[in-house]
Amino acid sequence: MTRGLLLSRELGFLRIGLAVPPLRIADIDFNVKSIIGMMHDAGRAGVQVLVFPEMAITAYTLGDLVQHRMLLSRAKEGLSRVMEEGREAPPMLVILGLPLEVNQQLFNCAAVLNGGRILGIVPKSYLPSYREFYEGRWFSPGKGFPVDHISLLGNTVPFGTDILFSLADIPDAVIGVEICEDLWVPLSPHEYQALTGATVLVNLSASNELISKADWRRTMIGSESGRCLAAYCYVSSGTGESSNDAVYGGDAIIAENGTILAESARLSPAPQLLIADVDLERLVHDRRLSNSFHLASRQEGKFRMTTAVVSDPLVDQLRRPLDAHPFVPRDPQQRAQRCREIFSMQVAALAQKLVSAGKAHLVLGVSGGLDSTLALLVAVKTMDYLGLPRQHVHAYSLPGFGTTARTRSNAVRLCRALGVSTEKVNIIHACRRHLRDLGHDGQPDIVFENVQARYRTEFLFNRANQLDGIVLGTGDLTEIAVGWCTFAGDHISHYHVNASVPKTLVRYLVKWVAEEEMPASPARKVLFDILQTPISPELLPPEEGKIRQKSEEIIGPVELIDFFLYLFVRSGTRPGKVLFLAEQARRAGLFDTRYTPEELVKWLKVFIGRFFASQFKRTCFPEGPKLGSVSLSPRSDWRMPSEAVARMWLEDVDAMQARLYGLD
């Protein structure tokens, strides 16, 4: 039986809730009741930070009514009732808007509450007074106001735009608050907050709906979350606002580092509570990597920090989208565009390498497998790109002890269909002679396998010398990660065109070329058969003519390897958390195969062990173009000592396995 895990302290997530309550203009009793009801809903859902729209206690579209002392007094009473309710509820950070009078001036404010206390009041910095907005008529800007504390409901409370809110026992959680227009200006408050350490940026808004405005809002929120390496959480007033001269739609969006995690249904008559789990550890990891981010932060001013206490709920189910295939877009159109872009980048990179080296010929081995097929397709397209004949691609079928008739036939048929120079060179005789020179008995073992891979590489390099060309490598990012290549064999080339393409994406690239680039070519049929061929280095003799050595039975399913690889390298995710996320994907049926929990643990440990043990191969890996956010190039992206010990990472898997599956 699965045990619950602490959302923040064990998994590094923070649960954010954005509430769009039913509101009535100036009906404070009704609004407070709505707010309290949604606080209870959020508490039951384990929300740790709950945000309401701008001026939620009174509603935003008050006009000149906002200047009436009775309304202002009742708004403070409403705030007091919300605070009182917070004393009895599970501890969370509640942020809601209201108008407040300070020193005979009126401010549009966000009140930040925790456990029945007011932690701080953040006034709006920028007041729109153009087109349909008229805030300068009623409010004073908070930016630059000389008061830093106010008396409110019998307490002395921090007041100002320079306050951040940290969460006790969740060191990566720092919340910055701004209001509506603050998002839309150059050098917004949230930028300074992020540079000072805020990882969660919230915006209380009352943004009206206009044609295409929602698209622009969505783009901007996603972009700002990426620029600030933060979560940006935006919630706007709903349809209860006045429609005299505008329409309000209750737009709510939670974005994390450029990705939209959750989004409300706009213009809905029903209240909405949008919830998402933000990955704080990933945000902080990316900030650690970005020295430019921290260089910018040194130029900014100081903020005051106030600390809140929130619950840390036990969680079995995450409230965030989870991608089991992070390298492969789900949407077919986006996936096709990704393939088109990658293929074009591979061609441009290879063309530049040929031109700069003063070479006009390419040499590669073709096996009838996916990787060499993609490399061959790139080579052919590169010749077209440079205006050179396709015969300048010299593709060699080098059958050995494990080559099957199917792959050998596919390799030859594909080369002929593409019009490249092709030749079959049987390496069995040469390999047997070399094994005899080694005093080897010819029985299958690691020497038996590697002799074939190294002889092929030797042949290709020597042929490249004869042709004055360069050897094109064929291995992919997935194989590089787990060392599924022979050192000084297929591991080496002049240029590795697939070096940053993961295996899960190689499949789609080959399929895309077959469908989009060669719809009428005889190569199309061959490509589809290659797509159905099991992944194998074919170094062991076949059984009854069929492939005996299947890579995925040795190194693990490639979809799991790529899932582990993306999280481990791109996000710096610890292995225990990787296992938790894999279990989430397994339960949701997101993987192509139905794995057992035992299989997830087994293949994650295999991945970690092979990743650490294979660094010596990556350290001297050939050049190849970086195409995505994950690369293992020793020159630009991934540097680690070959002697690094994996024990700590493996122990973390064991610890999470015990927590997840109730093992003693």
Q: Which residues are tagged catalytic?
A: 54, 124, 180
Secondary element (H or E) of residue 503: helix 503-512
Q: Which residues are paired to 664 by β-bridges? A: none
5: its two tokens: 């895990």
Map tokens 């300074």 to a residue: 192
Radius of gyration of the chain (CA): 30
Secondary element (H or E) of residue 277: strand 272-279
Map tokens 């010596």 to a residue: 616
Local structure of residue 515 (DSSP, 8 states)? I
Residue 612 identity (one-letter amino acid): F
At residue 214, φ and ψ (nearest 5 deg) are -65, -40
Q: How far apart are CA 515 and CA 663, in angstroms?
A: 48
Classify each residue of 381-390 as buried b or exposed e, where b means 16 or more C-beta atoms within 10 Å of its C-beta: bbbeeeebeb
Q: Are 175 and 200 in contact (CB under 8 A)?
A: yes
Q: How far apart are CA 93 and CA 113, in angstroms?
A: 6
Local structure of residue 158 (DSSP, 8 states)? E
Q: Are 129 and 135 in contact (CB under 8 A)?
A: yes
Local structure of residue 159 (DSSP, 8 states)? B
Kindly list the strands in the beta sheet with 470-473, ordered across the sheet, starting from the edge strand earlier in the chain.
421-424, 393-397, 362-365, 470-473, 495-496
Please report which residue ranges of 89-241 form alpha helices under DSSP H.
189-195, 213-227
Q: Are 9 and 169 in contact (CB under 8 A)?
A: yes
Angle formed at CA 65 by CA 63 and CA 71, multiple of 5 degrees: 135
Secondary element (H or E) of residue 342: helix 332-357
Classify each residue of 344-355 as buried b or exposed e, where b means 16 or more C-beta atoms within 10 Å of its C-beta: ebbbebbbebbe
Could you tell me which residues come within 8 angstroms of residue 70 by beta carbon, excluding any fewer than 6 positions away?
none
According to DSSP, the β-strands at 49-51 and 93-102 are parallel
Q: How far apart are CA 70 and CA 93, in angstroms?
A: 28
SS3 category, 589: coil
Q: How far apart are CA 564 and CA 507, in angstroms?
A: 18
Map tokens 């930028």 to a residue: 191
